[in-house]
A and B are shown apart, each in its own frame.
Chain A
């Protein structure tokens, strides 16, 4: 085996220029592929993280709420329900929310608003809502005040310490109405949210929307310790809660974002495919030349007693080594840049940027440093190299010794 490896290694350096050119083309392809994938996956991860931070990995609704988001389909967060949820493993945080479309009014101005009643402490731990305060203060525990989105406040011509009237339809047909003092102004990157959001304490919202039935909620957002076990946890939770409740994953809740990612990802994969086809033919050309110009040598080796299978092994080792060196140098070239871009993301614009803003994210693309990006590119190139060496292997196993000896 050592002589076979020796022959393969030394053969590679018989034509240094050709070996370097082939390695260089693989290196550039790996560099481009890794850069593309790392930026794509980095931005997807960013979007998913922002989305999941808002909605949770799972949400629990009353049965039928997902298809008909009526306040009358709210769930009642009883102690029994709490106990059932808490018994399911892998749950790290539960964010109870009560949501309502209503009218908000101040002075002569009235506008449709989206009200979220939430536990201020848990909400802040999860979504860092307090960081969005641009004026006033954040909600305290059992606070009677509300937080107003910046553009909504501007439309209503309301400010901190003003009192807003909220009017809407409450749980089971009652009128939900109340006067609330503005304690803080929030600024959202997403225009839609900045135009309509109002936050208030959960008990405050429950008193307004459902004064006669306590502990009413629209949803329970659930965060997980191990997100990769989401499917299993969802199934366990659904089983524990029975058919009176529905447990939905973030992929369904954020289906629009998932589709955007899938579409963009497919485009990226097509680009990669084109790149790898070019590289594959490059490797094939080199390997083919390496085989054809050494046919006489191969014939001599077979004449003196070397089996063709061992000769094929020499060829496979040569191709594998060229591929491996190209892959490693491509990784070495791209890694410093990707590490830099991981910590210093590139700003983005266009459709992706709009989508990111919509999910309340800063429109920037950090590079991902996930190991599978590197491993996948490496394996792809090595598989291509091995495929490219199949033809030479066929040649080695079929050539006529005497014809090859004559050159």
Chain B
């Protein structure tokens, strides 16, 4: 039993003329500390799969067991709390709050968790330092490069001390250097803090760093390979 167990997961979009089976019976288990890439062509169902694990979308059928709890049975309010306390999100287009500075974006998550001002500022600063942009603490997203914004995004994802981090095409908008730097940071976090990372990606550079690659096509897992160090 892993930290995430997915059993016979299905997702059918019925709001189109012809119902679309985006995920069609996936069974997977993720262990603590994994650094996993989910790959596959566009429309294969990998983002839908990630969204369901992240509690952003609900499955048509099947179970997602996290910490022994089936999250597909949670109501929307419980799902918000679940996302806040168990998952870190890294989005393709960073999605930082534009009116908050780098440190405020990270501290915001801790405030939602009810942490004291002192505690959240200390941890937010540590995380911003850890992702290597300590000199940009008080810059707003508009004053940061794409790579720097994505680092803040990683720091934000780590802020709540989540069980795992879901990253949907996190390097899609980054240049090579920024991509390598970001992956190095995430690998370091993974190794040092044993944080589980699950990526959805097309990027070969991400796949090269991954130690498990799951290939999804037409909503089913077609390959699940583990790469030894």
Contacts and interface: CB of A to CB of B under 8 A. Distances in A.
A307 B75 CA distance: 13
B160 A401 contact: no
Contacts of A301: 97
B227 to A, nearest CB: 30
A305 B56 contact: no
A12 to B, nearest CB: 9
A2 B116 CA distance: 12
Nearest to B99: A10
Contacts of A405: 56, 91, 95
Contacts of A303: 54, 56, 83, 89, 95
Classify the secondary structure of A's interface with B.
helix
Given A3-B104, A402-B56, A402-B57, A305 B83 contact: yes
Nearest to B112: A305
Interface string B88-105: 010100010111100010
Contact of B99 (A7, A302, A307): A7
B195 to A, nearest CB: 16
A307 to B, nearest CB: 6
Interface string A252-286: 00000000000000000000000000000000000
B10 interface: no
B108 interface: yes
Nearest to B86: A305
Interface string A9-31: 01100100000000000000000
A300 interface: yes
Contacts of A3: 100, 104, 107-108, 111
Interface in A295-334: 296-297, 300-308, 310
B51 interface: yes
Given A3-B104, A3-B108, A304 B98 contact: no
B100 A6 contact: yes
B81 interface: yes
B71 interface: no
A11 B97 CA distance: 10
Given A3-B108, A402-B56, A305 B99 contact: no
A120 to B, nearest CB: 75
Contact of A305 (B81, B104, B107): B81
Contact of A401 (B56, B100, B109): B56
Contacts, number: 60
A308 B111 CA distance: 15
Given A3-B104, A7-B97, A300-B91, A307 B57 contact: no
Contacts of B178: none
Contacts of A302: 80
A304 B99 contact: no
A304 B100 contact: no
A80 B85 CA distance: 84
B84 interface: yes
Interface in A150-209: none
B109 A304 contact: yes
Interface string B147-164: 000000000100010000
B80 A306 contact: yes
Nearest to A297: B97
Interface string A142-154: 0000000000000
A301 B56 CA distance: 12
Residue from A10, A14, A300, A305 with most neighbouring chain B CB atoms (10 Å): A305
B89 A304 contact: yes
Contacts of B54: 303
A305 B98 contact: no
B77 interface: yes
B76 to A, nearest CB: 8
A11 B112 CA distance: 19
Contact of B100 (A7, A306, A307, A402): A7
B41 to A, nearest CB: 19
B97 A307 contact: no
A406 to B, nearest CB: 10
11 contacts: A2-B117, A3-B100, A3-B104, A7-B97, A10-B99, A304-B83, A304-B112, A304-B156, A310-B112, A402-B51, A402-B57
Nearest 5 Cβ contacts at the A-B interface: A305-B84, A10-B99, A300-B95, A305-B112, A305-B83
Given A11-B99, A300-B97, 14 more contacts: A3-B104, A3-B108, A7-B99, A14-B98, A300-B95, A303-B56, A303-B83, A303-B89, A304-B109, A305-B83, A305-B85, A305-B113, A306-B80, A405-B56
